[in-house]
Structure 1
Amino acid sequence: MITKTVVIKNSIGLHARPAALFVRTCSKYRSEIFVEKDGNKVNAKSIMGIMSLGVCPDEEIKIIVDGIDEDVAMKDIVDLVENKLDQL
């Protein structure tokens, strides 16, 4: 299991389209993936779970990945958050 804390840098947080892209990215992997914010932990492959966190710009989330492809999954998810979400 690996964990990493990242800051959501895009201008609208993890709402609507960015949340959908985040969930699609996580769903590509066999590992279990969770997102934690303010003590609330949700399945990162669930759009309703991600939306329920209400992640706004400049807030931190913890990404937790556990499974066979955890290293590549974490790399892809962090790249998405840090470099691609603000292109939407």
Structure 2
Amino acid sequence: MKKFDYEVTNALGIHARPAAMIAQACTNYKASVMIECNGEQASGNNVLQILALHAAKGSVLHIVFDGEDEDACQKEVEEVLKEIAPKDKPASLLHVAFFGTKDYDRLFFSELSKDKGEGTYNVDITYFNSRPLFMF
């Protein structure tokens, strides 16, 4: 039996894509994998159970591997967890120009473009009251 703990560092937590990646890694092995978080348990090869753990950023996953190929399974799950960790890379900024905007347009789109953390829009918006003199 092998055990290890993993603190979730992804700002979005363990959402659908990481849960599917973990489950896929576990289905490749005969070892049973149990994941515990927030007092709940999930089978490592069950995406829905992993999602039901509600593992947000800062949560600690207690992962137990038991079976003949537990070492290899643990190694693959650790690789998946490294892959879903946030990367220190600069986000590209999308520059958008709105022509012929009204006040309600500015209110709506300015609220959308506010920085609300990882996974939100990374947009710089410039508003123009006039219509463009040329069309692209």
TM-score (norm 1): 0.88
Q: Any unmatched runs of 5+ in structure 1?
A: none
Describe how 1:39-54 pairs up with structure 2 within 5 A.
39-54=39-54
Note if contact 2:38-2:59 (Cα within 8 Å) is conserved in structure 1: no
Equivalent position of 2:98 in the other structure: none
Q: State the Cα distance separating 1:43 from its structure 2 match.
A: 0.5
- Is 1:58 the counterpart of 2:88 in the alignment? no
Query: More helix per residue: 1 or 2?
Result: 1
CA deviation map 1:18-44 (0-9, x unaligned):
111111111111100110012211111
2 CA distance for matches of 1:4 and 1:86? 16
Q: Which runs of 4+ in 1 moved over 6 A?
A: none
1 CA distance for matches of 2:29 and 2:11? 27
Equivalent position of 1:18 in the other structure: 18
| AA matched with 1:41 | Q
- Is 1:86 the counterpart of 2:85 in the alignment? yes
CA deviation map 1:47-71 (0-9, x unaligned):
1100110111221100110001001
| AA matched with 2:66 | D
Q: State the Cα distance separating 1:12 from its structure 2 match.
A: 1.2
| AA matched with 2:48 | M
Q: Once the two structures are aligned, what percentage of the paired residues are identical?
A: 26
| AA matched with 1:43 | S
Larger Rg: 2
Q: Any unmatched runs of 5+ in structure 2?
A: 87-136
TM-score (norm 2): 0.59
2 CA distance for matches of 1:48 and 1:13? 15
Q: State the Cα distance separating 1:2 from its structure 2 match.
A: 1.0
